[in-house]
Amino acid sequence: MINREYLKNKKKIVIKIGSSSLIHEETGGLDYAKLEKLVRIICDLKNQNKDVVLVSSGAISVGMKSLGLHKKPKTTSLKQACAAVGQGQLMMIYQKLFYEYHTTAAQVLLTFDVISSDERRRNAINTFSELLQLEVIPIVNENDTVAIDEVETWVSFGDNDTLSAIVASLINADLLILLTDIDGLYTDDPRNNDDAKMIHTVHKIDDNIKNMAKDTATSFGTGGMATKIAAARIATNAGSDMVIVSGDNIENINKVLEGQDIGTLFTAYQDKDFDIVRFILEKEYLK
């Protein structure tokens, strides 16, 4: 088993939290206790001289709640309307919470074509660099209100899992933490198989690892384990370690950075044949 003490020294961290970790599934309302704890931990990391970028889902779910919708919309236009309402409200909540800890947060909305355009990619890199130098916490989401591909196609692909890995590659992060509704990668779905065993460390993502990824989704989250494996392929090839850990306990962020053996650690692995643009545009994540 690998010694994770080295994770204490990570300086540039991307944290992704999914809708299933932010939303009370019974009511569709935000879990303010988790949000407040998440913000407090991020601010404390910043005070330790670490750069942190937060990739947060939840805009559509917040919009649904605000508009009185109890089931996820089926039409693209209604999804985009929910995102338009929810994104502003979610960001307002984040900014208020960060302000309580004397920290400024900034909204960054991205579309996946940022990775395929040299100019957009350069602009995104420059924006993140300036924000981090100004000690601002960038809060990233996909631009659901205008990007039809994200709402109709990419959401089913990753629910921001892939986006967080792309952000990690853009800022040259040394660690990506995925807070999710399962506590790691298992040999089989632990919800259906009591004999499933957690894999604590993955040094190389081969076909065997890919085959272990069984898609499961909650009412509010849309990403499954396969999308997290896809994110790991991007992050590790960009030089970033990645940890999948349960979002039920936000303190797991600190536990990961203390070097505790929780969740599944994917160690950085450079594949000379990996092409992130081809991986995204040719949908190699489906292979």
Q: Read off the pLDDT of residues 56-101 as tens digits, 9 standing for 90 and up.
A: 988 989 999 999 998 888 888 898 899 899 999 999 999 999 999 9
Q: How far apart are CA 230 and CA 210, in angstroms?
A: 9
Task: Write down the pTM of the prediction.
Answer: 0.90
Give the integer Cα–Cα distance in Å for 48 and 20. Answer: 28
Distance between CA 234 and CA 106 in Å, rounded?
A: 25
Q: Which superfamily, per CATH, for 4-286? A: Acetylglutamate kinase-like (3.40.1160.10)
> How confident is the model over 208-234, as pLDDT tens digits?
888 877 544 444 444 578 889 989 999
Q: Phi and psi for 184 in degrees, rounded to 5?
A: 155, -175
CA dihedral 18, 21, 27, 30 (to 10 degrees): -80
Which two structure tokens, joined as six digits, stand for 218? 């909650």
Residue 52 parent element (H or E): strand 51-56
Per-residue model confidence as pLDDT tens digits over 47-59: 999 999 999 988 9
